[in-house]
Amino acid sequence: MHPDSLLHQMKYYHYTSATSLLDILASDKLLASAENKGDAILGDGVYFTRLGPKSGTADTIFCNNWGASPLVVPDWTMKMEACIEIKYEGANIRTHRSVLPRDVYVYAGEDMQNLYQRVVRVHISVSAWETLDAQQQTEVLRKFPGKVVFLQFAPAPSTASSSSSSNSSPLASSSSGSSGTASAVGLSLLGGALLGGLFYLLTSPPKPAKHKNANNQQ
């Protein structure tokens, strides 16, 4: 066995665009990258990482996967619109840290067939999901029932405290939850204002009455 071979039962992540995701799901396979096209630094094969969406921010995972800064790749966000999470039980997905000191693994040499049976989750960003028409959304959900979730990367340090820690399924209605929370907050503020006004009226000393005059500016 190759010294860099991985253990069995590992999870791997393949990041891609929403358009490519539809092609992948239609074909039930991941196409191998070709070294002669300049996008396969470890040779021909399908490329993965062990970095799931919660492992880092979108830009840091992009840097790991493509070895380039988002600052020099204008369409980098498109490459991070979706993520296919698989569990692979073979030993022929390998990493070569001596050649490439990044968290990158390659299923060497060929396309990865029979993808459906390997998929654990299909992550897709909210914005990418909304670009799909109703038929495309239905097809994705039909092929992966219970496995489609919204893509959530780890928040940047400045926003970590305000971010949600759980993934939401596209099947769940996020709007109803948001409006319910907003309504509760609104009622709370209204109740506080009414109580505050009542307290003010009960504790404030009476003001002297003013004589009515048509020319007075109140």
Distance, CA of 77 to CA of 125 (rounded, Å): 10
The model's pTM: 0.70
- Per residue in 173-202, pLDDT tens? 444 443 343 333 333 333 444 434 444 444
- CB atoms near residue 165 (< 10 Å): 9
- Per residue in 50-60, pLDDT tens? 999 999 999 99
- Per residue in 139-179, pLDDT tens? 999 999 999 999 999 998 875 555 555 577 776 544 444 33
- Per residue in 79-102, pLDDT tens? 999 999 999 877 788 887 777 889
- Per residue in 71-81, pLDDT tens? 889 899 999 99
Decide if 148 contacts 139 (C-beta within 8 A): no
Domain spans, the chain = 10-170, 175-201
β partners of residue 79: none
